[in-house]
Amino acid sequence: MHGSILLTAGAGSRMGPAVADKILEKIGTSNAFRMSFRAFSKVKEISSVVVVYRDDSQKKQIQREIKLVEDFNPNQEIILVKGGPQRSDSVRNGLLALPDPCIFAHIHDCARPMIRSETVDFMVRKVAQMYPVAVARPATNTIRKDISELNSEENLKTTETLDRTKLWEMETPQSAPKSWLIQGYQKAKELNIVITDDIHALELVSKKIILFDPGYPNPKITHDQDLTYIKFLINT
């Protein structure tokens, strides 16, 4: 069985004071949470949806939003669990909240509301074959690594140019067998490593992955202008 973990607990500190909660900010007639939830609720193989919330106030709003989702799958079990101080803590809480029959986990940051059900469906099929898979896309910009000394002069950088043909920009969802993710996050905790996406946890337990470019924009809401961009994409 498959379960999804929808992350809504992020503080969104880079959005600025104008946006109270980027996950619930209006996008047309919907919002980022509802759009994300709907994409997962339409995939019949997903039996459980764990929503990781930030605080009791957001939890109540999330519960109201779920009732507004069109085409909601009444057979899916909805579980709400409180997140932690870091993304990795929230993911751990979500993994532990998934029911035991859920062998596979699909983790999605609800700040990426453009995800489509057909992408989730593809990931369900791949991970069922024990192939971890993540939405990602090849880097198109030149990327440099800052290797300056800590006490280098202001604005003077020593850099190293990375080979962009080997670089991928990671997105979500990211999917894997639940037990592998639990092992990876446990190892990260033991090594005191802060990880910001789930594939890093799989790397720590030496798992190979599939990187999947969905072929459509899947931007993340980080700054207020990202909301404007997503609204533009929806209306074009």
Mention every residue, 6+ apart, whose C-beta is less than 8 A from residue 42. 71, 73, 117
- Binning pLDDT at 50, 70 and 90, where does residue 31 land? very high
**Is it the case that residue 14 has pLDDT exceeding 80?**
no
If one counts the domains in the chain, the total is 1
pLDDT tens for 88-125 read 999 999 999 999 999 999 999 999 999 999 999 999 99
Residue 20: predicted pLDDT: 74
Q: What is the CA radius of gyration of the chain?
A: 18
- Helix (H) or strand (E) holding 80, with range, is strand 77-82
- What mean pLDDT, rounded, does the chain reach? 93
Whether the predicted model's global pTM rises above the 0.85 cut = yes
Query: Do 70 and 38 touch, CB atoms closer than 8 A?
Result: yes
Residue in this structure with the two tokens 């489509």, named with its chain if needed: 116
Query: What is the span of the domain harbouring residue 186?
Result: 2-234
Residue 103's CB: how many other CB atoms inside 10 A?
15
Mention every residue, 6+ apart, whose C-beta is less than 8 A from residue 161. 142, 143, 144, 145
- For the chain, what percentages of helix, strand and coil (3-state, to nearest 5) are there? 35, 25, 40
CATH of the domain at 100: 3.90.550.10
How much is the average pLDDT of 198-213?
97
